[in-house]
A and B are shown apart, each in its own frame.
Chain A
Amino acid sequence: MIARALGSAGAALRQPGAVAAALVLAVLVGWALAPTAFAPLDPVHDLDAAAPLAPPSAAHWFGTDVLGRDVFSRVVHGARVSLLAGLVAVAISLTIGTALGIVAAYAGRWTDTAISRSVDVLVAIPGLLLSMALVSILGFGVDRVAIAVGLAGIPGFVRIARAETIRILSLPYFDAARTSGTRPLRILASHVLPNATGPVVVLAGLELGGAILAVAGLSFLGFGAVPPLPEWGSMVNEGRLHIATAWWLTFFPGAVVAATVLALNRLSRNARRRA
C-alpha cells in the first residue's frame, strides 16, 4: 500500500516522492534505533495464546502469527536486523570493492587485467546465486548472510571505482601532483579517493536497497535469521504456508521490505541527480 502510494505520488510530483521516501526511512531508522518505543509487545516472548492467527485489529495492527506473536512488533524489531544486515553488506562491498577498483586503475597493466577479468567472471554469476553459494559455505545466520551478500556486491564497486579513478588519472591536477613528487599513496588518499566518492556513494545507496532485499530473500529461503529472531524475510517465509488463510503474515513484512527498497532507491536517484 505504502509502496503503491509512493510510486504514484512520485510519478505525479517529483519532490513529494522524495519527501515520502525520506519519511519512510526516518520511521525505519526510528524502529531500528528504539524498537521498544514503537512496538507495543515483545516480538519473541509475548505469545497471545488466545488469539493465534488473529487478523489485523486495533490491538494487533498487523495481526498475530501462528504462535500468537504480534506481527507489528516483530516487523518493528525486524527493522534493526534488516537495516544492520544491509549496512554491513554494503560496507563490505564498498570498502573492498573501492580499494580493488582504485588499485586496479592506478597500478594498471597485469594488476588491472587480473582484477578486472576476475570481476567480469563474478559479474557473470547472478548476485543472489553467488550469495547462496557463499552462505552455504559460511553457514546459516543473518551475520553470515550479510557477509555473503556483501562479498557478492563487490564487483559493482570495483567497476565504478576503477572507472572513476581512470577518469581522475587523466586530469591535469593528477599530473601536477605526480610531477611535483607526491608519493603514490598520498595521491590516492588526497586526490583520487575524495573525487571518486560521489558516484560510489550513489551506488552505495542503491546497493543498500538491493542488499536489504537480498538478505530478506536469503532469509526467506531459510539461510538467514535463526528463530525466534524477527527478520522480514523469514517472517514472509513463516507466513507462506498460511497465505490462503492468513494473508497478513506475508503481506505486512513483504510490504515493509518493498517500501524500504523503494524509498532507498528514490533517495539515491535524487542523490545521483545532484551528483
Chain B
Amino acid sequence: MRTTSRPHPIRRIAAVAAAAALLLTGCGAAQGQPGASGEPEAVQGGTLRVGFGGADVANYDPHQRPQLFPRTVTRQIADTLTEQDPETGEILPWLAESWEISDDTTEFTFHLREGVTFSDGTPLDAEAVAANFDRIVEIGPLAFIAGSYFRGYVGAEVLDERTVRVEFDAPNAQFLQATATQSLAILAQATLELDPERVAAGEVIGSGPFTIESYEPEQRLVLAAREDYAWPSPIAENQGRAHYDTVEISFLPDATTLAGSVQSGQLDFAYILDASTTSTIEASGATLLRTPMPAISIPLVPLLHREVFQDEDLRRALSLATDRQAIVDTVFQGAYVPATGVLTTTNPGYVDLSEELQHDPEAAAALLDGTAWSTVGDDGIRTDDAGEPLAITIQYTGGGTTETLLQLVQQQWRQVGIDLRLEPVADLSEFTIHDYPFDITTWSQTRADPDVLRIVYSSFYENQSFLFGHADAEVDEALGRLQTTVDPAERLEASETVQRLLLERGYTVPLYDLVQFSAAAPGIQGAHADIEGKPFFADLHG
C-alpha cells in the first residue's frame, strides 16, 4: 500500500497525534506483520464487533453479487484459487499451488493444494472447482460479473483429483486474475445445488477461516471461526484458526455513527468509512487503513443513447470543463486523488494520461462554440438556434458527498455554459443503462486488472457496458487484444490504447480515484487489507 501524506487544509490536530496515527497505519497496513506489542495468543476467543458502513446488500452468494460487502464477507468464509499481491498486483498461488496457461491464453490448468476441505467436511478437489465454474455459467444473468469472466467458456475438465483444466474458445487472458476475485470463490457442492435465492440468503458453505453462523437481513450477520482452518491466503498473517471465536457484523448506514463507534471502541472494526470522517479517526488513536482502490477512476459517463450526446465535441468539452483537483480538495478534503487516467493508479493497467485530463475551460468553450450550442444566453447558459438551453440532467440517490460533488461540477460546467441539472430520486434500480431516461451517470467498478475496461466501456454486456448498442470498432478491437496475452507489458500497451480512445472520443469523464478507508479501534492489532481493501478478520486480535 502506498503511503501518501498530503497537506490538509482544515485538519487541526496535534502534530504528534497525527504522526502516531500515521505510524500505526504504516505498521498495520504496509508490512502486514503482527502488532509491535509481541505475538498474539493463538486463540483469544470472544467476539469481534464489526460495523459495515451502509445498508445490508442482502445477497451473500459470491458468484452473484459484485458489491464490496458481500465480497468482504466471502473473503472470510471462502477461498479462491489465487491471491493478488496488494502492492505489486502479482498473482500468487493459494488454493491452486501452480498453474499453466497455453500460449494462446485459451487453456488454464490449475494444480490444487492438498488437504483442503469445505466446512461441511467435503474435499475441495478438481471436481468441486469444475462444478463451481459450471454453476457460474449456468446461473447466467444472476452472476453477471462472474459470468463476464467466462466469456467463451467451453468447459472445465477434471484431469485428476487435484488438476483441473479450464478451456475457452477464444483468448481470455484476464481469467487468471479473475480466479483471485471473490466472484470466483470456490463453494461446496452442497451450496451449488441449492436454489440461488437460498444461497443469496446466506446458506453459503466455503473453505474459509469462518462460517456463517446466523444471518438476520438488515440486522446482523454472525460468523464463527473454523477450528481446523490451515490453508490461509499467502498474504494473511495468521496461519491457523482465527483469533476470535465469532465475528458479529452490523450495518450502520450513517457515516458519523460508524466513525464514532470505532473511535470509542463500541466497534472493533469499521469497514468503509466516509472520507469526511477520516481526519477525526486519525486523531482518536484508531488504526486507519487507506486503500487506493484498483478500479476504474470514478467517472461521469455521457450516455450515448441520449440525443444531446450525439455530439462528440460536447462530450469532450465536459472533460476539459472539469477541475478535478478542486473536486478532490473541496468535496473530499484531499482524501481522494484526482483521476490521471481511465484506470486508477493501483490498477495493473494504469497509464498516466494526466495530459489528457487537464482543466482548460477556454478549450472547452472553443470546442462548444463549434457545436449547435454556439450562443451564450444572458444567464451564462448556451442555447442552440431554436433557443433550447444546453442542459444535461443527472439522477442520483442518497445525497451526501455525491450531492456536494455534483453541485461543484455544476458550477464548473456552468463556466463554459453547460447547465447540469440535478435530480435526486429515492431509487434508481428500475432502469438499466440503455433505457435510462437521463443524460449522464456515474459508475464504480473495482477490479485489479485492466480487463475492468472491457466490462465497463466495451459494447459487450447489455447491463454493464456503456458502449452497448453504440459499438466503437477500434475500442472493441483493442479490448480484444487485452485478452490475447498474459504478458504485462503487452497488456499495458493495449490498456493505454483503449484509454486514449475513450478519452479522445469523449466516452467518459474520469473524475477521481476512490480511496477506501477502514479502521480498527484503538487496541485492535493486525489490521490489514487485500488489494481491494477487504480486511482479514482472522488476523485481527486484541
Contact = CB atoms under 8 A, between A and B. Distances in A.
A66 interface: yes
A222 interface: yes
Contact of B403 (A49, A52, A227, A245): A227
Contact of A67 (B274, B404, B423): B404
A268 B391 CA distance: 45
B10 A245 contact: yes
A227 B326 contact: no
Nearest to A53: B10
A174 interface: no
Contacts of B256: 240-241, 243-244
Interface in A224-275: 226-228, 234, 237-238, 240-246
Nearest to B411: A47
Interface string A203-221: 0000000000000000000
Interface string A9-53: 000000000000000000000000000000000001101010011
Contact of B406 (A44, A227, A234): A227
Interface string B266-290: 0000000010110110000000000
B276 A241 contact: yes
Contacts of A240: 256
A246 B404 CA distance: 15
Contacts of A245: 10, 276, 279-280
A268 to B, nearest CB: 33
A222 B330 contact: no
A98 B337 CA distance: 58
A237 B424 CA distance: 14
A189 B154 CA distance: 84
B447 to A, nearest CB: 28
B424 A226 contact: yes
A140 interface: yes
A43 B329 CA distance: 20
A111 interface: no
A66 B404 contact: yes
A136 interface: yes
Contacts of A222: 398-399, 424
Q: Which secondary structure dominates where chain A touches chain B?
A: loop
Interface in B120-159: none
A53 B9 contact: yes
B407 A227 contact: yes
Given A140-B424, A222-B398, A228-B410, A242 B330 contact: no
A198 interface: no
Contacts of A237: 399
A140 B425 contact: yes
B101 interface: no
A67 B408 contact: yes
Contacts of A67: 330-331, 404, 407-408, 411
A68 interface: yes
A34 to B, nearest CB: 21
Interface string B488-503: 0000000000000000
B407 A136 contact: no
Contacts of A45: 411, 414
Nearest to B263: A244
A78 to B, nearest CB: 15
A44 B404 CA distance: 12
B330 to A, nearest CB: 5
A44 B1 CA distance: 39
Contact of A226 (B333, B414, B423): B423
Given A227-B422, A228-B410, A241-B274, A68 B399 contact: no
Nearest to A136: B426
A232 B435 CA distance: 35
Contacts of A47: 408, 411
Contacts of B404: 66-67, 238
B413 to A, nearest CB: 12
Interface size grouping (class) on chain B: 20 to 34
A37 B107 CA distance: 74
Given A67-B411, A242-B276, A52 B426 contact: no
Contact of A49 (B10, B259, B274, B326): B326
Contacts of A243: 256
Contacts of B403: 227, 238
Interface in B361-408: 398-401, 403-404, 406-408
Best-surrounded residue of A45, A228, A238, A241 (most CB of chain B within 10 A)? A241
A144 to B, nearest CB: 12
Nearest to B412: A47
Nearest to B423: A226
Interface string B420-455: 001111100000000000000000000000000000
Nearest to B259: A244
A92 B351 CA distance: 59
B422 A226 contact: yes
Contact of B277 (A44, A227, A228, A244): A244
Contact of B331 (A66, A140, A234): A66
Contacts of A228: 407, 410-411, 422
A173 B333 CA distance: 71
Contacts of B277: 241, 244
A128 to B, nearest CB: 16
B398 A68 contact: no
B125 to A, nearest CB: 49
Contacts of A68: 330
A241 B331 CA distance: 11
Contact of B401 (A44, A136, A140, A241): A241
Best-surrounded residue of B277, B407, B422 (most CB of chain A within 10 A)? B407
Interface in B42-75: none
A228 B409 CA distance: 11
B30 interface: no
B255 interface: yes
Contacts of B426: 136, 140
Contacts of B330: 49, 52, 66-68
Nearest to B276: A241
Contacts of B329: 52
Contact of A52 (B9, B398, B401): B9
A171 B216 CA distance: 62
A244 B278 CA distance: 11
A234 B400 CA distance: 10
A52 B10 CA distance: 8
Given A228-B407, A241-B276, A246 B424 contact: no
A53 B276 CA distance: 12
Contacts of B333: 53, 66
Interface in B201-245: none
A136 B426 CA distance: 8
Given A53-B9, A241-B255, A245-B279, 18 more contacts: A45-B411, A52-B9, A52-B329, A52-B330, A53-B333, A67-B331, A67-B404, A67-B407, A140-B425, A222-B424, A227-B407, A227-B424, A228-B410, A228-B422, A234-B399, A241-B400, A244-B256, A244-B277
19 contacts: A44-B411, A45-B411, A49-B330, A52-B329, A66-B333, A67-B330, A67-B411, A140-B423, A222-B399, A227-B406, A227-B424, A228-B410, A234-B399, A238-B399, A241-B255, A241-B276, A242-B276, A244-B259, A245-B279
Nearest first, the 5 closest Cβ-Cβ pairs linking A and B are: A222-B399, A241-B276, A52-B330, A244-B280, A228-B407
